[in-house]
Amino acid sequence: MMSSSKVTDYFSVKKGHESKLSKKPKSQVKHVPKITESQQTDNNKHAEKLHQKQLNVLRTFDMKWEYGPCVGVSRLERWQHADQHNLNPPLAIKKLIEDHSTDEEYTQCVWNSYEL
């Protein structure tokens, strides 16, 4: 039969060691600021304004006939077509479309919802 023994019989226990690990100096403690409801509302308003500004930029691109026809093609296809024909479409438009490649508001022309 095995004698009942404890781990502490073989290893010494250092008291106070745990408390040193768990306590950090106040200078090392990071405080994460809490977002208030009004700040969250401001963030949402800012995001919505940015979204609308981006869509307005894309609609303006749609209306510029110097980049070729926009009906029946995606904005990115139109941008690439204009680039191939040295019409110098803005790179910011391409980046905006690519950054939102899964959102049809960004990828499709303003005339997309109208039937041909």
String of DSSP letters for 49-113: HHHHHHHHHHHHHHH-GGG---TTSBHHHHHHHHHHTT----HHHHHHHHHTTT-HHHHB-TTTT
pLDDT band, very low/low/confident/very high, at 4 (cuts 50, 70, 90): low
- pLDDT tens by residue, 8-36: 666 666 665 555 555 656 556 566 667 78
Give per-residue pLDDT as tens, 51-90: 999 999 999 999 999 999 888 899 999 999 999 999 999 9
